[in-house]
Amino acid sequence: MNARLNFMTSPVAAKAMKHIVAASRALAESTVPASTRELVMLRASQINGCAGCIDMHTKDAAHAGESAVRLNLVVAWREATVFTDAERAALELAEEGTRIADAAGGVSDAVWANAAKYYDDDQLADLVAQIAIINAFNRGNVMIQQPAGDYQPGQHG
């Protein structure tokens, strides 16, 4: 299976992608735990059906020490007992931020208030940026049908 096209062969698209990658790398400085950010990226990628990002974030999280149980339960986090309240708030924010079109008002006040119980304004900004960036990656990869399965942990970083 091959992708429909290679972003990096288009001068304009390659330049745009480099900026998105740079924005993503800047979030490594966030005080939101890396494990929480990986869970958020994994959940958004699951919702969007982005095989490439699911492959990447599952493998990167496992390589960083995340358990298989938690990774397997991200898709059903509401019923899972293995996530902290803060992680659950971040996952809920990721879901509503990814499914903006499904709700008339986007992210609800209740979901935002719940996330604000666990994250300060800087961390909320970081989470919003993380969710927006992973959704951009997801949408691009889904449109070009980026194949998945061969990713090696740390390959892009």
- Please give the pLDDT value at position 152: 83
- Please give the pLDDT value at position 157: 61
Give the Å distances, CA to CA, from 135 to 11, 128, 132.
22, 11, 5
- Please give the pLDDT value at position 7: 81
Using alpha carbons, select from 103, 79, 105 the residue that is nearest to residue 91.
79
Q: How many whole angstroms separate alpha carbon 41 and alpha carbon 112?
A: 18
Say yes or no to pLDDT of 106 above 90: no
User: The whole model's pTM is what?
Assistant: 0.93
